[in-house]
Amino acid sequence: MLEKNRILLSFQLALFFIILILPIANSIQLLLLFLLWVVTFRKLGPGEWILFILVNIIFTFNNIMAIRNGTFEFILPSSASKNEIFVSNGSLYILGVPIFEVFLWGFYILHTKRMLRLKLYSSSLLKPFLLSILFSLSFSLFPTQLGILLATTASVLTLFMFFHEKQDILCAGYMVFIGTILEHIGVHFGIWKYPGNYLTGVAYWYVNLFAGTGVLLNRLALPLTSKIIKMFTLKEQYLESER
């Protein structure tokens, strides 16, 4: 059963990349992605819904800020603006972000969670929370690509100093695997681009972005959503007992 699920998830990832490069309106791409996820994820648990929603909100905000800082940019129609909601030929862009991108980081996280069948850590969330702030700031405090590379490398090495068990390495490695394919497809097919001259067109700090996100999925995101679910479950049990 485990191997069948992983084959299905591998098929899911391959189809995702194919949909991403189709020369169609991004609203149609989003519809195809939703259909793919419904078929291949099947049912999502409450914790997975919370994880999907929170991750998408956080990364959409981060994308908008990164675009404004010139860290990278999506390729927009010539008449589109990064400062408005823009619709053209069935494609929707929100402050420079194509509509399908709003949902993609939640997908990467859920796919990784399902593929690796991650066990849940029950340790304190304070340390990973503080390190997540450091990780986030390392992408936004420095105006140059070199500055971002050095800062993010330092923040990811700091994460690995504290969290370096097998599951941390697996999460980081698998996320980098996804990111390597994703970033090169995105740049090669003209979906987004980075400033500066890179050998393949992709900023080198993408490795840090995906590795750090993998570790924080393992140490912060999953335990946090578990605590949220438990909190609401206990509240419901209390309300039931008071009736």
pLDDT tens per residue, range 89-112: 888 898 889 999 999 999 999 999
User: Can you read off the two tokens belonging to residue 73?
Assistant: 């940019």
- The three-state secondary structure class of 192 is strand
How many CB atoms are closer than 10 A to CB 19?
A: 18
Residue 86, SS3 per DSSP: strand
pLDDT digits (tens, 9 = 90+) for 183-212: 999 999 999 999 988 999 999 999 999 999
DSSP single-letter state for residue 34: H
Mean pLDDT of all residues belonging to the chain: 89
Nearest to 194 by CA among 137, 155, 139: 139
Out of 62-71, 75-84, 198-207, 228-237, which region has the weakest mean confidence (pLDDT)?
228-237
- Residues in Cβ contact with 209 at an 8 Å cutoff, skipping those fewer than 6 apart: 139, 152, 179
Share of the chain above pLDDT 90, in %: 64
134-172 pLDDT, tens digit each: 999 998 888 889 999 999 999 999 999 999 999 999 999
d(CA 117, CA 108): 14
Q: What integer pLDDT is reported at residue 2 of this predicted model?
A: 63
Cα–Cα distance, 21 to 234 (Å, whole number): 45
Please tell me the predicted confidence (pLDDT) of residue 133. Answer: 92
β-sheet bridge partners, residue 91? 88
Answer whether residue 16 shows pLDDT above 50: yes
The answer to whether residues 19 and 193 touch, using CB atoms and an 8 Å cutoff, is: no
Strand runs labelled E in the chain:
73-74, 85-88, 91-94, 97-98, 192-193
Res 239: pLDDT: 39
Q: How high is the pLDDT of residue 241? A: 42
CB 175 within 8 A of CB 218: no
Q: Cα-flanking dihedrals φ and ψ of residue 33, to 5°?
A: -65, -45
CA 206 – CA 188 distance, rounded (Å): 15
Pick from 98, 132, 111: nearest CA to 223 = 132
